[in-house]
Structure 1
Amino acid sequence: MAVSRNYFSGTIAWGILAFVSTVNAFYLPGIAPTDYNPGDTINVLVNSLTSWGTDNYSMAIANLEYYDPHLKYCVPEGGAQSRAGSLGGVLFGDRIQTSSMELVILKDEACKYQCTSHYTQNDLELITNYIAEGFYHHWSVDGLPVASSETYFYDDEEVYDDKFPIGAMYMLNDEGPPKFLLFNHFFFEIEYHRTKDDKIRIVGAQVKGVSLESKVNASGGEHSCESLNLLPIDVENNVPSAIQFTYSVSWKESEVPWATRWDKYLRVYEPEINWFALINTTAMIFFVVFLTALTLLRLVRKDIAKYNEVDLSEDVADELGWKMIHGDVFRPPSHVMAYSITIGTGAQIISTIVATLFLALLGLLSPANRGAFSTVLLMLNTVFGGIGGYTSAATYKIWGGQNWKANLILTPIVVPALVFIGFLCINFLLIFEHAAGAVPFGNMVALFAVWALISLPLSLFCGFLAFKRDWFKAPVRVNQIPRQIPPSDWTRSLPFMMAMGGLLPFLAVSLQLYYILSAIWFQRLYYMFGFLFASIVSMLILCIMTTSLATYSTISAENYHWQWRAFFVSGSPTVYIFLYAIFYMYRYMELRGFMNKLLYFGYTLMASGLCFLALGMVGATSSYFLMRRVYSSIKVD
């Protein structure tokens, strides 16, 4: 276990009462270092291709198989072997396979032959589309991404990009059609570090793709790729119909130790802007907390004192507002079963998000273990099925639900079933697009088995325990006949409250949302978990405060239907998040065709819906305890 300076630059710990500026934490690389001897062989692993788009061409969401029948990349002898990846990585499109490229430790190679591929007219037309759409390679050596040789500098330090394009597009003149180059030769530069016992450890890998008109001897012998003759793909004339794939390897000794080899990949970008946003969010929190305290402490205490000093009569009824509905405010919400299920599922989701971010903040989710974050997210959500079942059962019993068996069964089934159906629809779209991201049937069965064997039993067991407990009783008696709700103005309508109540919490997370969407759709390594954790906590605090104000405004208008209203107001930041994601798609992505836009919309809608449940649960639960605190302070005959 070693300390990595850059790995934790930018992570912050969110205290109970204050922000702690920066902390040094430990680094768990996720895998143990592999020591090699000179002459050992390493296989270059390849992954599915992803699209970024180009200046004049749209991008595609659907990943592309590396061994696409039209690209015709060289297949290793005996066929490509799939390497076992994490469940989360597979669900998010990883398809890691072996390649025909092998690196011999400390042995330089020049123009090593792979294979010769023959292309049809249709193949060449599709390849030009792939190049125009900006498809990129994702390779790895010894668990380390193979970076593009075209590195850049950030804060005077070199930064690696963990991908490189499959080809290039250029113009012979301003008026002619573009020419396309398919990279068929790859220059590897491998950095290694010698240990004290003279072992070799891989600490860096870069590659440069070029298009060469190479004439190598496929049967063996010395080959030369020194002639850098560009090999344009001429679709109209069907030139060239045959392309030879080769690669070169050079080894370079480095002083970089193995423990810090990820430092050039991981950077906290624009830390000044992130700190500025965090300070602004903190200021918003103090302002909203002050406003809430002013309203709920000063005014409510004053009202309670006045209420306890006078006898209720017709003369003071209009001045009492929320006090007059004490006999109805703890009336069960409509559709109490659905309400309990949403609260329980929301508790499960928010627990999963916070726990996963906390582990990432501590450095326990290493980027060296590809797909670790999504895998832990899935596993924790499975284990936290018990939290969902317990919370749903407790909520259902508190609000007087009678059909407890139905609650036990429906809680772990309803939302997962909806998500699974949505996921199946998206998967069918991916299959229709012939995308590499389509989840294999075996992984779908494994995902179902994990839910059926772990999440479902935990939810049933914990829900049964919750029903056996005696929960809170309403602090005031509920009237048998519901009180008539007087009409209220538009400022107390649900749409207006959602629009106003969701704005501040959304602003708390809006900056990180840009980086998260970039990480998801552009495969950028996201590493600012400290800022993200602080932003999530800030958003939750603001959700509680704004929902408390909305609930107080609701009961002040003598409207005792506050439960669902609190849920929707607290979940309303997700509406802004969804709208921002749509804006991001049109502003930065320029997706190709209706199918890719439908895929983006489906993914975004599903994620937004789950976040809505999580945030809604936070506001609804906090409002419940607020109502208990307020109405337990008044005297009722």
Structure 2
Amino acid sequence: MQLRVAVMAVVFVPLLALLSAPLASAFYLPGVAPIDFGKGAEVTVKVNKLSSVKTQLPYDYYSLDYCKPSSGIVNSAENLGEVLRGDRIENSPYVFPMKIDQTCKIVCRKANLSQGAVKNFKQKINEDYRVNMILDNLPVAERMTHTQGPTGMTYDPGFSVGFKAPLKKGGELKHFINNHLSFVVLYHQDIEYDASRIVGFEVKPFSVKHVYDRWEKHATKLSTCNPYKKIFVSSAQEWQEIDNGQEVVFTYDVAFKYSHVKWASRWDTYLLMTDAQIHWFSIINSLMIVLFLSGMVAMIMMRTLLRDISRYNQLESVEEAQEETGWKLVHGDVFRPPTKSGLLCVYVGTGVQFFGMVVVTMIFALLGFLSPANRGGLMTAMLLLWVFMGLFAGYSSSRMYKMFRGADWKRNTLRTAFTFPGVVFVIFFVLNALLWGEKSSGAVPFGTMFVLMFLWFGISVPLVFVGSYFGFKQAAIEDPVRTNKIPRQIPEQPWYMQPMFSILIGGVLPFGAVFIELFFILTSIWMHQFYYIFGFLFLVFLILLVTCAEITVVLCYFQLCSEDYNWWWRAYLTSGSSALYLFMYAAFYFFTKLQITKVVSGILYFGYMGIISYAFFVLTGTIGFYACYWFVRVIYASVKID
């Protein structure tokens, strides 16, 4: 009966997920409350980090010699996730009245740029850095191409610092700065309200070599533009070159346009993916393959196991003096504790912690609480959930430790609390030191590092101890069969059942089920794109769950039929080996999709992908282990053994 229920769950759970995915991926909450602006109300643009897909090193906006607000630079309050992402949100001199168009407004003049400032600008232009600004929690973006969608366009977040081009055909490349910004603020106004809500924030950057007769602080008149004439650049000679001793005048235009897009839907254009149809077809194709495979594997396993169990029980009932064969032969050794059982308990407990974090995070994301509008919310939620899931890590680790007849539960608890976080923290600390060396805003400040340490030592470790205490107080899990005192000799195994080969083969299927979604996730992380389709992600997670369980159970069954009872670690490593393929795919993505040339940026990429792969190993290994453990208990409890 248990086998039939398990088979039905394997087949129908992904099907239910497929039906729920469209609704889940489409539904999200904006993340912040709407703000109503009356005509003439002051609208302040905030500036964020400078980012580049070439270097992956974010920098503070004012690390370049841009115009500063007269009232001084003020940092906005940021959550933990924003700080870890490298966001540095500050005020700016771009302030304009709501619904009042302005043309050729002078921000400031940078006379006689220093050599250091020029070098910094040129370096950022060479590395394709983009400027990020925020208005009413909406990121500034350039309108790029028209496509089918709710607004008929796509956005590219931010705008470039500048560009390189020759002054004449075949000439030397010069550096030009985008010193004029043409803003377009889209607003929506309901009939019953007088105030308006901002639903879009667009920009078109220009490089303009401004000309004026005399500079006066508040009455300078530019001949290149005026309050009645917008910027028009006709030739390269009118671009603003960035060089030593050059003078740069920063200006902007702002135009307010009515939009039919309502406030609740204002993020739709930002989240529009040009390859959404490809994403849909890829996910459905992957799901259909897994469903077909699940059905085939379930049928084979059910028929084979039921036949084995029926034959074994029939032999016992007629008391035939035949020698036992197959997986029943190792019943006296199958629950023998493995070597390094304590380490296995640690990794199983850590995997449970990860599993709980992932499930709860996805539930919140599906409900819309972790949409991209809630900047930094996803990372903050994952960190806090990881910390509080330490309770389940300690409990599951100590339960298994006691099952293996362990006695020093405190030592096991310490290893559970420090093994995985310790490895991750060492890697993170080294990467953070590199960021400090590059003076990047992505470097975690001392205060935030202290908060992370407090979350680890002050909350996570005590919760692991609490969970471990209650887990160890429970009665030890009883095995369905007795374990012999003398271990049985394992016969020589064929080449295809060797541990290394079967483990590597076992990781192919789970990785194959998720690698399409992995491409979109890597693109959102390293190409600075928004990721919002959590319905698809939840579906892929269910597929991963099923495939890890299936492949581990099948290979474990073949292993036991070959009279090899050392299944504990192999069950964990079989599905966990998919992390190796994830890291290999990350390397492939690095060399084929990214244009990173700096050594520090490459180290950061592989360091962070190493952490992600390590976490993926712990998660998938635990899923496969528990599926195999349940399977072994069920089959040995189903046969009569003297």
TM-score (norm 2): 0.90
- Out of 448, 452, 455, the position equivalent to 2:457 is 452
SS of aligned partner of 2:271? coil
TM-fit CA distance, 1:409: 2.6
TM-fit CA distance, 1:445: 0.7
TM-fit CA distance, 1:407: 1.9
Could you say which residue in structure 2 is the equivalent of 1:8?
none
Task: Call closer, same or farther: CA 1:363–1:597 in 2, change over 3 Å.
Answer: same
Structure 1 vs Structure 2 CA RMSD: 2.4
Whole-Å separation in 2 of the counterparts to 1:47 and 1:429: 21
SS of aligned partner of 2:106? strand
Whole-Å separation in 2 of the counterparts to 1:74 and 1:279: 50
- Out of 240, 263, 268, the position equivalent to 2:268 is 263
Whole-Å separation in 2 of the counterparts to 1:76 and 1:285: 57
Task: Call closer, same or farther: CA 1:14–1:396 in 2, change over 3 Å.
Answer: same
Whole-Å separation in 2 of the counterparts to 1:98 and 1:18: 44
Could you say which residue in structure 2 is the equivalent of 1:87?
80
Could you say which residue in structure 1 is the equivalent of 2:137?
143
Task: Call closer, same or farther: CA 1:320–1:177 in 2, change over 3 Å.
Answer: farther
Question: Pairwise mapping of residues 178-577 of structure 1 onto structure 2 (< 5 A)?
Answer: 178-195=173-190, 196-215=192-211, 217-221=215-219, 223-224=221-222, 225=225, 226=231, 228=233, 230-233=238-241, 238=244, 241-310=246-315, 317=323, 320-577=325-582
Task: Call closer, same or farther: CA 1:185–1:17 in 2, change over 3 Å.
Answer: closer
Task: Write the letter of the residue equivalent to 1:405.
Answer: K
Whole-Å separation in 1 of the counterparts to 2:140 and 2:439: 26
Whole-Å separation in 1 of the counterparts to 2:278 and 2:27: 26
TM-fit CA distance, 1:610: 0.8
TM-fit CA distance, 1:334: 1.4
TM-superposition CA deviations, 1:575-594 (whole Å, max 9, x none): 11111111111101121222
SS of aligned partner of 1:233? coil
TM-fit CA distance, 1:315: 8.9
Q: Is the aligned partner of 1:116 residue 2:109?
A: yes
- Out of 592, 597, 600, the position equivalent to 1:587 is 592
Whether the 8 Å CA contact 1:344–1:392 is kept in 2: the answer is: yes
Whole-Å separation in 1 of the counterparts to 2:447 and 2:216: 39
Whether the 8 Å CA contact 2:395–2:467 is kept in 1: the answer is: yes
Q: Percent of aligned positions with the same letter in both sequences? A: 37
TM-superposition CA deviations, 1:567-612 (whole Å, max 9, x none): 0111122111111111111101121222111111100001110111
Whole-Å separation in 2 of the counterparts to 1:21 and 1:440: 39
Q: Is the aligned partner of 1:627 residue 2:632?
A: yes
TM-superposition CA deviations, 1:213-247 (whole Å, max 9, x none): 11464500264434636335365xx4x52212121
Could you say which residue in structure 2 is the equivalent of 1:72?
65
TM-superposition CA deviations, 1:99-140 (whole Å, max 9, x none): 121122223222222222342345434422321221111111
- Out of 98, 103, 106, the position equivalent to 2:96 is 103
- Any stretches of 5+ residues in structure 2 without a counterpart? 1-12, 226-230
Range with greater deviation from structure 2 (33-42 or 385-394): 33-42
Task: Write the letter of the residue equivalent to 1:119.
Answer: L
Whether the 8 Å CA contact 1:94–1:437 is kept in 2: the answer is: yes
Whole-Å separation in 2 of the counterparts to 1:283 and 1:316: 44
Could you say which residue in structure 2 is the equivalent of 1:19?
19
Could you say which residue in structure 2 is the equivalent of 1:39?
40
Range with greater deviation from structure 2 (209-218 or 38-47): 209-218
Task: Write the letter of the residue equivalent to 1:147.
Answer: A
TM-fit CA distance, 1:448: 1.6
More helix by share: 2
SS of aligned partner of 1:561? coil
Whole-Å separation in 2 of the counterparts to 1:88 and 1:17: 29
Query: How many aligned positions are there?
Result: 613
TM-score (norm 1): 0.91
Whole-Å separation in 1 of the counterparts to 2:309 and 2:194: 78
Whether the 8 Å CA contact 1:115–1:218 is kept in 2: the answer is: no
Whether the 8 Å CA contact 2:17–2:539 is kept in 1: the answer is: no
Range with greater deviation from structure 2 (415-424 or 187-196): 187-196
Whole-Å separation in 2 of the counterparts to 1:14 and 1:198: 48
Whether the 8 Å CA contact 1:14–1:20 is kept in 2: the answer is: no
Whole-Å separation in 2 of the counterparts to 1:87 and 1:302: 56
- Any stretches of 5+ residues in structure 1 without a counterpart? 1-12, 53-58
Could you say which residue in structure 2 is the equivalent of 1:6?
none
Task: Write the letter of the residue equivalent to 1:95.
Answer: R
Task: Write the letter of the residue equivalent to 1:219.
Answer: K
Could you say which residue in structure 1 is the equivalent of 2:157?
162
Whether the 8 Å CA contact 1:50–1:137 is kept in 2: the answer is: yes
Range with greater deviation from structure 2 (109-118 or 569-578): 109-118
